Amino acid sequence: MNDVLTLQLPPPPSQRRGYAVRVGAAVAAGVGASVREAAPRARAVGVVSDDNVWALHGQRVRAALEHAGLQVLPQVVTPGEASKSIEVVLGCVDGWATAGLGRHDAVVAFGGGVVGDLAGLAAHLYMRGVPWVGVPTSLLAQVDASVGGKVAIDRPAAKNLLGAFHFPHAVLVDPRWLATLPARELACGAAEMIKHALLFSRPQLDAIAAAATRGAEAAALAPLVGASIALKAACVAADPFETEPAGRVLLNLGHTVGHAIEQVSGFAVAHGEAVALGLVAAARVSRAQGLADAALERTVVDVLQRVGLPTAPDAWLQGEHADALAAAIAHDKKRGDGGTITYIALADVGEPRVCALTIDAIVAGAAATGRP
């Protein structure tokens, strides 16, 4: 029997479902109705949150969900990256199973990017996928992590190693949650807002610079959250599964060097701070590659300083730090062919370029002298 039967299956319809991202000061009060709308058959919701967010805002969200007739099954995890673990995922799914959460019920991720990644992956795995709604409360989660459907947990070998695409059924963003966010976390989220603006929109960059004259303040940045989400959303909508050569990969701007600095510092430099240093590095590499002029670095440094982010990556680009940085970049998952790295540069604000660069070219370019 050498016959081979080939059946060509059409793409699953589930991958063609869109989702709404609602942004505004009335969103928190309408969380219950919005979850009902996003998951009309849900009777109960598994709400994943962390201790900080739940203590500050949990009762309000619980009341809004219960008011909409939804039974609330909270699972409150320890704040921090360590909760993006297989053990915590199993804790969620076992808890839902014990409480009787069904396949038409929904999961609500109420917290920062850690909670979103964790709850989204658990929702993806539970009963082969239940709907989930993102209610992001950190600036980073609002402008970045909650949009695009990437959900993941960490393993010892790498951050975000175990993950999936599981697009949310809705994302509910109320910038007023940001009022309780610590200043350092706010600045870290601002780094991603600045990244989106550098990639796609000079008017947004100018608006961030104008708003942030007193540093990263929630009240100043909140009105720009919706525009920042729209920039990321347009990018991921055009390339939902990161298969295009110049689609979602652009969102790695600042992350090649940034992620390496984060690792080499033993995570003493926070992710957003490291991204800020990576954005400065990207401006320098862009200039070293003959793509951009010195004005780009001045622009990048100016806006980062206004929100209180660091702008001097030099210490990480010299001596033994440079070797460790190169080794960390070598582990970069966006490794190209022939020993090169897929590196995102800028010809100018709003003009990203995808480059294939050697690690030496990246490190040397980022450390380039002759700066403005």
- Nearest Cα residue to 175 out of 145, 137, 128: 137
Separation between Cα atoms, residue 91 and residue 119, nearest integer Å: 11
Residue whose CB is less far from ligand NAD, 92 or 357: 92
Smallest distance from ligand NAD to CB 251, Å:
8
Separation between Cα atoms, residue 357 and residue 354, nearest integer Å: 10
349 binds ligand NAD (CB under 6 A): no
Smallest distance from ligand NAD to CB 250, Å:
14
Please state the three-class secondary structure of 129-195 as a single string: CCCEEEEECCHHHHHHHCCCCEEEEEECCEEEEEEEECCCCEEEECHHHHHHCCHHHHHHHHHHHHH
Smallest distance from ligand NAD to CB 103, Å:
23
Smallest distance from ligand NAD to CB 112, Å:
2
Smallest distance from ligand NAD to CB 189, Å:
7
74 binds ligand NAD (CB under 6 A): no
177 binds ligand NAD (CB under 6 A): yes
Instruction: Determine how many CB atoms are found less than 10 A away from the CB of residue 3.
Output: 4
Separation between Cα atoms, residue 18 and residue 21, nearest integer Å: 10
291 binds ligand NAD (CB under 6 A): no
Please state the three-class secondary structure of 287-351 as a single string: HHCCCCCHHHHHHHHHHHHHCCCCCCCHHHHCHHHHHHHHHHHHCCCCECCCCCEEEEEEEECCE
From candidates 141, 304, 349, 362, binder to ligand NAD by CB under 6 A = 141
140 binds ligand NAD (CB under 6 A): yes
122 binds ligand NAD (CB under 6 A): no
C-alpha of 81 from chain center? 13
> Which residues 181-220 are close enough to bind ligand NAD by CB under 6 A?
181, 185, 188
Length of the chain: 372
112 binds ligand NAD (CB under 6 A): yes
Q: What are phi and psi of 31, to 5 degrees?
A: -55, -45
345 binds ligand NAD (CB under 6 A): no
Residues 225 and 175: beta-carbon distance below 8 Å? yes
79 binds ligand NAD (CB under 6 A): yes
69 binds ligand NAD (CB under 6 A): no
List, by residue number, the catalytic residues.
128, 150, 192, 232, 244, 248, 252, 255, 259, 271
Among the listed ranges 27-35, 48-56, 194-202, 287-295, the one in contact with ligand NAD (CB under 6 A) is 48-56
From candidates 15, 78, 180, 318, binder to ligand NAD by CB under 6 A = 180
Q: In DSSP terms, which residues pair with 356 in a beta bridge?
A: 342
From candidates 35, 88, 115, 229, binder to ligand NAD by CB under 6 A = 115
Note the residues at the interface with ligand NAD (CB under 6 A): 50, 52-53, 56, 79-81, 84, 111-115, 117, 137-138, 140-141, 144-145, 148, 150, 160, 177, 180-181, 185, 188
